[in-house]
């Protein structure tokens, strides 16, 4: 358990107000001041100084804050491991990107809950960039991402392959073509995910490999919601590059159509990518390894 005086320091450093920190911690203001004074006297340095009506961390205070945050992360990790090791009901936090969290994992998690009713899986959905940050901060135990990541910093395991496709309304002029050249896509109403998303990053990286640059893109709209993008495409207000998995239902209902893409040489361009489990080695255990195995077997 984190020392109460360290918790007080974290709160004051974040709120930068003794009175509000005391209210949050359910302490008196003198008690908060005493906790900070104890730490400063123990380490023989000044952590906090007043500047007018506000307070700021000193250089030593900023350094101490980093140290305390590291302790907090380690304590949280130890707590989860020990609790899950002895508990009858286990609980894990999984993070997934929008495509995976919205169109791949729900079915798998339903099957997993049927087989393991005593294991609770909490799913957090965000873009690749945010999921990777949460893994590093150990706010989640395991991530499932579709975008590129630092393979030297994280451990990873492939879940499945996915394809990015050009999706248009059946009413769009592209729908009447056998294929669409990349240059044509650049000139029209291209709707893409926001920066930080795996889909966007992978698409841009592949274009670079084909001799283009992200500056060549003439983006009509940037939207963080896959459902909103699909609705705009169905209404023929633009077209998009999207996961084939995410538009399976719309393709079956014939409200969205997939059109092949070609480059300058008129060679077919295929945007294949991987869905990967991503994690820190210290955060993984036998139950999470079994979860990854279950996902792979269910999806195959």
- Residue range(s) in the chain whose domain bears CATH number 3.40.190.290: 163-272
Interval 172-200: pLDDT, tens: 999 999 999 988 998 899 999 988 888 88
The reported pLDDT for the residue numbered 1 is: 67
Distance CA 141, CA 119 (A): 14
What is the phi/psi pair of residue 277, to 5°? -75, 135
**Does the pLDDT value for residue 52 go beyond 80?**
no
Q: What is the CATH number of domain 4-79?
A: 1.10.10.10
The reported pLDDT for the residue numbered 111 is: 93
CATH number 3.40.190.290 given to 163-272:
yes
Distance CA 106, CA 272 (A): 22
CA angle, residues 87, 125, 298, in degrees to nearest 5: 70
Q: Give the mean model confidence (pLDDT) for residues 207-233.
A: 88
Task: Count other C-beta atoms under 10 Å from residue 199's C-beta.
Answer: 28
Per-residue confidence band for 2, with pLDDT thresholds at 50, 70 and 90: confident
Superfamily of domain 85-160+275-299: Periplasmic binding protein-like II (3.40.190.10)
Pairing of strands 271-279, 54-57: unpaired
Nearest in space to 226 (alpha carbons), one of 256, 270, 271: 256
**Does the pLDDT value for residue 147 go beyond 90?**
no
What is the SS3 assignment for 272? strand
The DSSP string of 19-45 is HHHHHHHT--HHHHHHHHHHHHHHHTS
- Residue range(s) in the chain whose domain bears CATH number 3.40.190.10: 85-160+275-299
DSSP assignment, residue 16? Answer: -
**Bridge partners, 209 (sequence order):** none
| 153 touches 222 (CB < 8 A) | no
- Residue range(s) in the chain whose domain bears CATH number 1.10.10.10: 4-79
Q: Is 238 left (phi over 0), alpha (psi -120 to 50) or beta?
A: left
The reported pLDDT for the residue numbered 79 is: 66
Q: Give the mean model confidence (pLDDT) for residues 233-237.
A: 96
User: Average per-residue pLDDT in the chain?
Assistant: 88
The reported pLDDT for the residue numbered 86 is: 52
3-state SS track over 184-239: HHHHCCEEECCCCCHHHHHHHHHHHHCCCCHHHCCEEEECCCHHHHHHHHHCCCCE
Q: Give the mean model confidence (pLDDT) for residues 21-36.
A: 89
Long-range contacts, stretch 76-84, CB < 8 angstroms, 24+ apart: 76/138, 77/138, 77/282, 77/283, 80/141, 81/285, 84/285, 84/287
**Does the pLDDT value for residue 88 go beyond 50?**
no
Nearest in space to 172 (alpha carbons), one of 264, 259, 268, 252: 259
Interval 269-283: pLDDT, tens: 778 889 999 999 888
Task: Count other C-beta atoms under 10 Å from residue 175's C-beta.
Answer: 16
- What's the pTM value of the predicted model, to 2 decimals? 0.64
The reported pLDDT for the residue numbered 202 is: 86
What is the phi/psi pair of residue 255, to 5°? -95, -15
Start-to-end CA span in the chain (Å) = 42
The reported pLDDT for the residue numbered 200 is: 86
- Locus of tokens 């008690």: 31
The reported pLDDT for the residue numbered 232 is: 96
């Amino acid at each position: 358990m984190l020392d109460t005086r360290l918790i007080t320091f974290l709160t004051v450093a974040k709120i930068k107000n003794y009175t509000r920190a005391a209210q949050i911690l359910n302490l008196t203001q003198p008690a908060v001041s005493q906790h900070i004074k104890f730490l400063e006297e123990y380490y023989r340095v000044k952590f906090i100084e007043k500047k007018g009506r506000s307070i700021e961390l000193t250089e030593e205070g900023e350094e101490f804050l980093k140290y305390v945050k590291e302790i907090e992360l380690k304590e949280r990790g130890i707590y989860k491991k020990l609790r899950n090791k002895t508990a009858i009901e286990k609980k894990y936090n999984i993070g997934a990107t929008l495509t995976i969290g919205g169109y791949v994992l729900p079915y798998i998690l339903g099957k997993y809950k049927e087989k393991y009713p005593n294991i609770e899986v909490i799913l957090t959905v965000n873009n690749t960039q945010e999921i990777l940050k949460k893994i590093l901060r150990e706010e989640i135990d395991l991530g499932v991402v579709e975008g590129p990541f630092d393979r030297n910093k994280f451990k990873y395991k492939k879940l499945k392959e996915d394809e990015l496709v050009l999706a248009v309304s059946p009413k769009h002029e592209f729908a009447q073509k056998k294929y669409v050249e990349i240059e044509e896509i650049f000139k029209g109403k291209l709707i893409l995910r926001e920066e930080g998303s795996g889909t966007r990053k992978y698409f841009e990286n592949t274009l670079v490999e084909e001799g283009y640059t992200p500056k060549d893109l003439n983006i009509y709209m940037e939207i963080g919601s896959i459902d909103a993008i699909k609705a705009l495409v169905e209404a023929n207000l633009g077209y998009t590059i999207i996961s084939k998995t995410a538009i399976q239902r719309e393709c079956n209902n014939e409200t969205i159509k997939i059109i092949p893409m070609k480059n300058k040489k008129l060679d077919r361009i295929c945007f294949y990518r991987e869905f990967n489990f991503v994690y820190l080695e210290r955060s993984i255990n036998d139950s999470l390894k079994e979860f990854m195995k279950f996902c792979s077997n269910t999806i195959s």
